[in-house]
C-alpha cells in the first residue's frame, strides 16, 4: 500500500513539485523516491508490506520500464513462477511490484486479466515515452487524474492535484448535488470540473504529447445461474476460503477488524485457521450508545475471541469530534458525510501505534449478499404498495406526528418508520435510490440558492441506468449489482482507503475479490434472502465456522453515535458553521431551509443528524480546498 503520482509536460522548476512527497507522506512513510525522464516525473511513497527490502523501493526501474504501484497483487507468487517457467524471467526481488512490471512487459494490456488484487499503478516505457495507467476491478485503490492541453497528471489523492499550477478550481455542481443527496460522491467525477477519477476496471494510455485514451478491461457477472442451496454454499465456502488465504500474503503480520457481526467474524475465524491473527474492535461510551440506541457489538467480539483463542484488542472510541472532523475532511479529499470514517481512522491509528500495518475487513459482504436493512426495506416497500391507498395515507399521517427523540432518548422504531415511508410509495429505482439518500427529489431547489433541476435529473438518470442495467427478473440481485457500482465504490471503499491510509494502515477486503464477486453475482437472489433471512447463503457457509448467536444476531452496522454528537459535543459547531450569516456568505445554500432543518432536528420532530453532519462537512471542505 502506497501513494503514487505522476506529471507530464509541467514546469518542474515550480516549488510545488518539491512538496508531492510531503502531501502524500501518510500513504507511504517507509520510503519516498522520485524519477524524472525528459518531460515526465513520477513519485512514490512506500508502505512496505511485501519484500520490505530497499531493493523493492519505487519507482522501480528495470531496463526501459519504470513502475509506481499502489496496492497488492495477491496471486503474485503464482504469476512469478509462471513468468520464470515460461519466459525465463530473471527476478532480482521477491516483490509483487517486479512481477507486475514483468507481466506487463510480456503481455501488455492483457496483463490485467491475470491479476487478483487491489491496485492503481503506472508503468512508463522510456523508449516509446508511453505511460500506462490502470486501476483495479472494483476501485479499491484510488486514482485521480487531470488532463489539459498537453499536460497530464495523476495521483492517489485529490489534494495532490488540486494545487497544481494553472488548475482551475471550478466546482462541479453535479458532484455537489450528488454528495448532498447521498452524503458521498458516486461515479467517476470529483468535486472539481477539471479533475476526474480513472474508472474501476479501466486503464489509460498516455502519449508524450498528453493525449490519452481510456478503456474498460472487466465487467462483473450480470446474470444469475441456477444453483442448489448446497452447491452454492459449497462453492462459496471454497472460493471465499481461497480469497482469504490469498489476502494473508504479506511479509509483515496481518490483523483483522472484528465487530462481532457475521462478516468480520467469519473472516477472522477462517484467517486464524491459516495463521495467527490479532483482532481489533471498537466500543463507545454508554451515554452515546443510549442516545443512538446502539447495540453492544463489543460483547459479541469478546465472546468470539474467547471461543477461538483470538489475540483480541478492544479500543474505546471517545473522539474529540470537533477536532477530528476537520482532519477527516482533509484526508477524505471529498465532502463525505459518513461519520464512520472517524471510526475507521481512529481504529487504524490505534492499530498503527501497536505496530500493525495490515488489517482485514469484511466489507463487501452486505452489498454482494443482500445484507443491508435498506435492501430488505425496499423489497418490503414494493409489497407495501399493494396495500389500499387509504391505509397507506393514514399510516403516513400518523407516523409523521411522532417524535424521533424525547429528551436524550432516541426512538429508533419511529426513526426507521419515517425513513421507510420516505420511499415506500416510489417506483423501484427511485425507491432504492431514496433508501440511501437524504432528500426528496422535490426539495433540492429549496436547499440550494439556485435552480439545480438539471443536476438533480442527471443524478436520478445515472442511478436508474445502473439499476436497470442487469437482472430484469431478480430484484434482489438488481439491488446487489447497484450497490456494487454505487454504494460500495462511492462510499465504503473510498472511506476505508482514505481513512485507513491517513493512519498509514493497509486495509484488505477478501469479499471484494474478482472470483468472490463473480460467484456472488451468479447466485440467485432467492438464495440471498430466504425464510426472512438476509445473506442466507453466506450464513449457511458460516454455520461451518461460527456459533449460532453470532450468525443469526440482529444486523448491526459500523456506526457512530452521530445523533448524540450532533445534539451534544457538536452543537456549538453546528450553531457556528450553519448559522444563517455563514450560510448566506458561502452563497450555495438557502439559509432559511438549513435553519429549519437544524431546528426540527434539535426539537426531536425529525431526524436530520446525517444531513446536518454533511452540511458541516461541506462547509469545512470549502474552507480547506477552496478558501486556502
In this prediction, residue 408 carries a pLDDT of: 65
Residues 325 and 198 in one domain: no
Bridge partners of 205?
Answer: 132, 213
409 pLDDT more than 80: no
CA 14 to chain centre: 34
Residues 205 and 131 in one domain: yes
Picking from 216, 239, 274, the residue at the C-terminal end of a domain is 216
Residues 157 and 241 in one domain: no
Give the pLDDT band of residue 484 (cuts 50, 70, 90).
Answer: very high
Residues 140 and 60 in one domain: yes
Listed residue (170, 2, 215) closest to 96, CA to CA = 2
The secondary structure of 170-182, three-state, reads: CECHHHHHHHHHH
Residues 266 and 142 in one domain: no
Q: Which domain holds residue 304?
A: 229-369+483-551
Residues 522 and 596 in one domain: no
529 pLDDT more than 60: yes
In this prediction, residue 20 carries a pLDDT of: 97
The secondary structure of 453-508, three-state, reads: HHHHHHHHHHHHHHHCCCCCCCHHHHHHHHHHHCHHHHHHHHHHHHHHHCCCCEEE
| Cβ-based neighbour number of residue 367 at 10 Å | 26
Q: What is the mean pLDDT of the chain?
A: 92
Task: Provide the 8-state DSSP code for 157.
Answer: S
β-pair type (40-46, 2-8)? antiparallel
pLDDT single digits (tens) 48-67: 999 999 999 999 999 999 99
pLDDT single digits (tens) 422-438: 888 899 999 999 999 99
Bridge partners of 216?
Answer: 202
Residues 212 and 236 in one domain: no
556 pLDDT more than 80: no
Domain-located, residue 80? yes
Residues 336 and 301 in one domain: yes
Residues 538 and 574 in one domain: no
Least confident of 31-35, 212-216, 222-226, 306-310: 222-226
Domain-located, residue 430? no
pLDDT single digits (tens) 294-303: 556 778 889 9
Report pTM.
Answer: 0.94
Domain-located, residue 443? no
Q: Residue with C-alpha cell 487524474?
A: 145
Picking from 551, 585, 604, the residue at the C-terminal end of a domain is 551
For the chain, the domain total comes to 3
Distance CA 544, CA 523 (A): 19
Q: What is the CATH number of the domain that holds 168?
A: 3.60.20.10
pLDDT single digits (tens) 171-229: 999 999 999 999 999 999 999 999 999 999 999 999 999 999 999 999 998 877 778 99
Residues 519 and 588 in one domain: no
Residues 10 and 159 in one domain: yes
Domain-located, residue 422? no
Query: Is the distance from CB of 26 to CB of 6 less than 8 angstroms?
Result: no
Amino acid at each position: 500500500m502506497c501513494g503514487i503520482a505522476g506529471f507530464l509536460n509541467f514546469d518542474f522548476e515550480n516549488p510545488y513539485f518539491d512538496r508531492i512527497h510531503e502531501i502524500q507522506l501518510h500513504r507511504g512513510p517507509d520510503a519516498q523516491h522520485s524519477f524524472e525522464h525528459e518531460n515526465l516525473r513520477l513519485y512514490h511513497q512506500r508502505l512496505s508490506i511485501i519484500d520490505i527490502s530497499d531493493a523493492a523501493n519505487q519507482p522501480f526501474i528495470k531496463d526501459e520500464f519504470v513502475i509506481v504501484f499502489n496496492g497488492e497483487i495477491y496471486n503474485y507468487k503464482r504469476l512469478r513462477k509462471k513468468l520464470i517457467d515460461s519466459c525465463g524471467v530473471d527476478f532480482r526481488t521477491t516483490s509483487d511490484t517486479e512481477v507486475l512490471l514483468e507481466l506487463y512487459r510480456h503481455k501488455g494490456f492483457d496483463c490485467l486479466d491475470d491479476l487478483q488484487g487491489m491496485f492503481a499503478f503506472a508503468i512508463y516505457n522510456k523508449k516509446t515515452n508511453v505511460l500506462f495507467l490502470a486501476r483495479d476491478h472494483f476501485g479499491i485503490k484510488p486514482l485521480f487524474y487531470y488532463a489539459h492541453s498537453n499536460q497530464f497528471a495523476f495521483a492517489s489523492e485529490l489534494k495532490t492535484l488540486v494545487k497544481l499550477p494553472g488548475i482551475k478550481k471550478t466546482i462541479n455542481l453535479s458532484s455537489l448535488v450528488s454528495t448532498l443527496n447521498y452524503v458521498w460522491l458516486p461515479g467517476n467525477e470529483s468535486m472539481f470540473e477539471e479533475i476526474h477519477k480513472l474508472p474501476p476496471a479501466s486503464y489509460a494510455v498516455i502519449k508524450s504529447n498528453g493525449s490519452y485514451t481510456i478503456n474498460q478491461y472487466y465487467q462483473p457477472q450480470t446474470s444469475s445461474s441456477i444453483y442448489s442451496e448446497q452447491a452454492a454454499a459449497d462453492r462459496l465456502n471454497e472460493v471465499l476460503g481461497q480469497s482469504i488465504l490469498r489476502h494473508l500474503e504479506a511479509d509483515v503480520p496481518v490483523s483483522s477488524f472484528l465487530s462481532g457481526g457475521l462478516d468480520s467474524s467469519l473472516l477472522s475465524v477462517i484467517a486464524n485457521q491459516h495463521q495467527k491473527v490479532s483482532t481489533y474492535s471498537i466500543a463507545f461510551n454508554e451515554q452515546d450508545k443510549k442516545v443512538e440506541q446502539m447495540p453492544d457489538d463489543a460483547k459479541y467480539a469478546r465472546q468470539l475471541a474467547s471461543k477461538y483463542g483470538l489475540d483480541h484488542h478492544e479500543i474505546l472510541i471517545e473522539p474529540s469530534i470537533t477536532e477530528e472532523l476537520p482532519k477527516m475532511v482533509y484526508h477524505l479529499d471529498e465532502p463525505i458525510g459518513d461519520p464512520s470514517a472517524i471510526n475507521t481512522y481512529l481504529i487504524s491509528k490505534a492499530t498503527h501505534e501497536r505496530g500493525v500495518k495490515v488489517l482485514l475487513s469484511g466489507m463487501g459482504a452486505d452489498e454482494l449478499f443482500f445484507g443491508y436493512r435498506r435492501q430488505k426495506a425496499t423489497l418490503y416497500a414494493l409489497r407495501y404498495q399493494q396495500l389500499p391507498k387509504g391505509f397507506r395515507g393514514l399510516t403516513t399521517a400518523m407516523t409523521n406526528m411522532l417524535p424521533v427523540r424525547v429528551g436524550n432518548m432516541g426512538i429508533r422504531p419511529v426513526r426507521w418508520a419515517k425513513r421507510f415511508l420516505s420511499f415506500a410509495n416510489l417506483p423501484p429505482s427511485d425507491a432504492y435510490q431514496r433508501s440511501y439518500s437524504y432528500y426528496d427529489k422535490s426539495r433540492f431547489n429549496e436547499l440550494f440558492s439556485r435552480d439545480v433541476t438539471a443536476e438533480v435529473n442527471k443524478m436520478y438518470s445515472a442511478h436508474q441506468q445502473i439499476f436497470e442495467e442487469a437482472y430484469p427478473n431478480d430484484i434482489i440481485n438488481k439491488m446487489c449489482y447497484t450497490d456494487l457500482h454505487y454504494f460500495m465504490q462511492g462510499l465504503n471503499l473510498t472511506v476505508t482507503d482514505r481513512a485507513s491510509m491517513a493512519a498509514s494502515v493497509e486495509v484488505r477486503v477478501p469479499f471484494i475479490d474478482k472470483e468472490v464477486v463473480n460467484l456472488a453475482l451468479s447466485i440467485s437472489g432467492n438464495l440471498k434472502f430466504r425464510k426472512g433471512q438476509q445473506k442466507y447463503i453466506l450464513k449457511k457457509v458460516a454455520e461451518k465456522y461460527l456459533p449460532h448467536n453470532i450468525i443469526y444476531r440482529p444486523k448491526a452496522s459500523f456506526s457512530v453515535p452521530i445523533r448524540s454528537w450532533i445534539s451534544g459535543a457538536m452543537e456549538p459547531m453546528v450553531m457556528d458553521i450553519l448559522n444563517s450569516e455563514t450560510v448566506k456568505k458561502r452563497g450555495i445554500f438557502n439559509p432559511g431551509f438549513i435553519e429549519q432543518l437544524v431546528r426540527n432536528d434539535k426539537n426531536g420532530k425529525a431526524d436530520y443528524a446525517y444531513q446536518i453532519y454533511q452540511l458541516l462537512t461541506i462547509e469545512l471542505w470549502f474552507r480547506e480546498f477552496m478558501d486556502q
